[in-house]
Chain A
C-alpha cells in the first residue's frame, strides 16, 4: 500500500507530543516517521540514549505502543528476547495477533557499544527491524565523538586545538558492515526525504527476518546548527553524497536518489559550526582529502548499485 499523506494525517501518532526532545530534533522526527509507517501493531525497544531519555521520564511516557528500554548496548538482544517470547507464545496459541518488532539505537548504541549485540541478533535471524538514528556523536551525554563522527568534526572529546583539528579518523561504514551480515533488507535513509524513509520502513516490515535501516538524524546541539535547519542539514548531507540514500534487498543494491549536481562537501561543512575550523585556508588540504574520500565512496556505491559512474 502506497503511503498517502491524507490517510497518514488521520492515523493516530504513536509517539505523543509533550516528550522532552529538543525543538527541531532530527532523531525524534525519524522515530515518528518510522512508527507512523508501521501497518501492524508494533512493539518497540530502545537503547539508552537521547530518544529513551526524552520519551520516558517516569511517571510519563510518550510511547503509545508497548516500549522497552533495557540498557545502552543491548536493544537488539532485548528485542531478540521479546521476539522469541512472541514466537513461543504464538506457537502455543497464547497470542493471536501479528506483531512487528522495531528496535532503535543511536550511533553510540549501534556503531559502538551495541555492535556485538546487533550483529548477534542479525546473525540469528530474529524477525525485527533495527533502526539506527545516527546523529554522529554521543549527543545525550554531551557531544562526545563516536564511531560515526565524521572526520574532522569537533566534539567535546575530539575538540579543535593547536594539535588537532577535530576527530582524527573516518567513521566506520556501519551500513556496509550490516550488508556483510547478508540479511534480507538494509537501507540508508534520511528524515528530510520522509516518503523514502517511510517506504523503506514499510518494505522492511513486510519482509520476514532481520532488517536494518540507518537513518541520518541531525542533532542541532551537536552539529551546531539553528534548530530550524535540522532537515536542511540532512538534505545537504545527501546532496553532497556524504550520506547517500540506497537500499540492499536480498543482496541487490539500489540507489534511491542521485543528486542532479553533486554539491561539494565544503557546502555541508559550511552549514555546521562543528566543521567551522575547516573553512580556514590552512585546512584546505584536509577538506580536499575528505572530498576525495566522499568521491571514492560515491563511485564505489554507484558501481555496487549498477549505476553509471559518469560525471
Chain B
C-alpha cells in the first residue's frame, strides 16, 4: 500500500530518512538543505526515530563523523548543499575510498563566488570523480525513490560505495508536489538490516581503518574501488527493477521520453527534464521528431547504454547546469560525446544553462531544438543559454 502526500523535495527526503531510520545522522545546516534536516530533527525530537543525531560545527566534521560512525558499524546518512559539500570535499573522498556506504542527499546549489543560494549542479559535479555514486532526481517523487534505493545500492556487498542522491535546490527542494510513499515496514523490508563485515566496534576482533598505503598497495586499492563502481551498474539496475515491482515505479540509468524515433534529442539532468518533456509534447504535436533523455545515474556513467539509446539521433544537445571552465563547456557534455564516439554519427552540442538558479524557459528549449534542426548548434564550444550578452 502506498500513501499519497503533498511533500516538498526536502520533505520527501526527510520522510524517506524517517522510514529508513538510520543509526546515525551527522549534519550541519545550509540553505537549501536546511528544511530537510529541520524536518528530520523534528522526527528525532518527537521520539519517532531512534537515530542519534550529531549536530556538528561544520560540514567537514559532519562528513568526518559520518565516516567514523559508518566504520563503527552504523547505518549513516547526511545531507548538504553547495559550500557545505565543498567544505566536506576532502572527507567525501575518504568516505568512498574507505568503502563506507554512507547516503548523503545533496540539495544542489551554486558554488561561490559570487555567493548565490540558488540551484545549479556545480556542487555535486565538483564531486564527480570522488568515487560516490550519483543519482539525479527530477521531482520530489524521484527524490523519495532515489533516497530509499540509495541505501540498498550503497550497502550491496558488490558495491560498498557511498551514494549521493541529488535534487535541484528550491526548484525541487521547496516545491510541493504529489508524492507516493511506501508504508514504513515496506521500506524497512526493502532496505533490510545493515550488518557490516568489519565494524570498528567489534573490540574482540580489532581492525585498523585508514592505514597508510604507499607505492606497494595504493594503486591496487584504487583499482578495487574502480571495479566496485563498475559492478555498481548491475546492482543499480537490479535494485531499480525490484523497486519497480514494489511501487510500480521502476528505475534505470536514464529515462527516455519520445526518443525512439527522435531525430533531435536533448539530454539533461534533474528538474530540467520536466520542462523539456512539455516542450517535446508541444513540438511532437506539430510533427517534429524530438525527444528528451533524462540521465538519472551520472556515476557510474552508463556510456554503452546511452550510446544505444540515443546514438540514432541526427543531433543531440547536452544541457549542463554547471560550467566546466575548460574553455569548452560543462562537465556532462564531454562524457556524452565520449560515450557516442565511434558509435554514432550524431552531432553533439553543449548548452550551459540555469547557473545560480536562472530559469530554464520553454522558449529556450524550443530555441535549442531549432538550433539542432537547423544545424546551428556549435559542436565545439558550449552556448550559454539565457545569459545576457
A interface residues with partner B (beta carbon < 8 Å): 41-43, 45, 52-53, 56-59, 61, 63-71, 73-74, 77-82, 84-89, 91-92, 95, 97, 99, 116-117, 119-121, 123-124
Choice from B23, B91, B207, B214 contacting A85 with Cβ under 8 Å: B23
A contact residues around B94 at 8 Å (CB): 70-71
| Closest chain B CB from A183 CB (angstroms) | 15
- Alpha-carbon gap, A65 to B208, bound state (A): 8
| Closest chain B CB from A87 CB (angstroms) | 5
- Alpha-carbon gap, A66 to B209, bound state (A): 8
User: Would B61 and A91 count as touching, CB distance under 8 A?
Assistant: no
Choice from B23, B56, B207, B212 contacting A77 with Cβ under 8 Å: B56
B72-104 contact mask (Cβ, 8 Å, vs A): 1 or 0: 111010000000000000110010000000000
On whether A77 and B64 interact (CB within 8 A), knowing A63-B206, A120-B57, A124-B54, the answer reads yes
On whether A68 and B200 interact (CB within 8 A), knowing A59-B217, A79-B68, the answer reads yes
B43-78 contact mask (Cβ, 8 Å, vs A): 1 or 0: 000000011101111101100111111111110100
- Alpha-carbon gap, A95 to B203, bound state (A): 11
User: Would A77 and B60 count as touching, CB distance under 8 A?
Assistant: yes
- Alpha-carbon gap, A92 to B75, bound state (A): 13
| Closest chain A CB from B196 CB (angstroms) | 11
User: Would B64 and A74 count as touching, CB distance under 8 A?
Assistant: yes
Closest Cβ neighbor of B202 among chain A residues: A66
User: Which of B50, B54, B72, B211 counts the most A-chain CB atoms under 10 A from its CB?
Assistant: B72
A contact residues around B57 at 8 Å (CB): 116-117, 119-120, 123
Choice from A88, A95, A123 contacting B50 with Cβ under 8 Å: A88
Give the residues from 217 to 265 in chain B that come closer than 8 angstroms, CB to CB, to chain A: 217
A contact residues around B58 at 8 Å (CB): 116-117, 120
Choice from A52, A63, A66, A97 contacting B212 with Cβ under 8 Å: A52
On whether A81 and B212 interact (CB within 8 A), knowing A43-B200, A88-B23, the answer reads no
User: Would A88 and B51 count as touching, CB distance under 8 A?
Assistant: yes
Interface residue? B24 (CB, 8 A): yes
Choice from A58, A99, A116 contacting B214 with Cβ under 8 Å: A58
Number of interface residues of B (CB under 8 A): 42
On whether A87 and B210 interact (CB within 8 A), knowing A78-B64, A80-B65, A117-B61, the answer reads no
| Closest chain A CB from B211 CB (angstroms) | 4
Interface residue? B201 (CB, 8 A): yes
- Alpha-carbon gap, A282 to B67, bound state (A): 53
User: Would A56 and B24 count as touching, CB distance under 8 A?
Assistant: no
- Alpha-carbon gap, A123 to B55, bound state (A): 11
User: Would A69 and B201 count as touching, CB distance under 8 A?
Assistant: no
User: Would B56 and A120 count as touching, CB distance under 8 A?
Assistant: yes
User: Would A66 and B203 count as touching, CB distance under 8 A?
Assistant: yes
User: Would A84 and B65 count as touching, CB distance under 8 A?
Assistant: yes
- Alpha-carbon gap, A89 to B150, bound state (A): 22
User: Would A92 and B68 count as touching, CB distance under 8 A?
Assistant: no
A contact residues around B91 at 8 Å (CB): 70-71, 74
| Closest chain A CB from B18 CB (angstroms) | 15
- Alpha-carbon gap, A57 to B211, bound state (A): 6
- Alpha-carbon gap, A46 to B254, bound state (A): 42
B contact residues around A74 at 8 Å (CB): 60-61, 64, 91
Q: Which 10 A-B pairs have the closest CB atoms?
A: A81-B68, A120-B57, A81-B65, A69-B210, A85-B72, A81-B69, A77-B61, A85-B74, A74-B64, A77-B64
Closest Cβ neighbor of A120 among chain B residues: B57
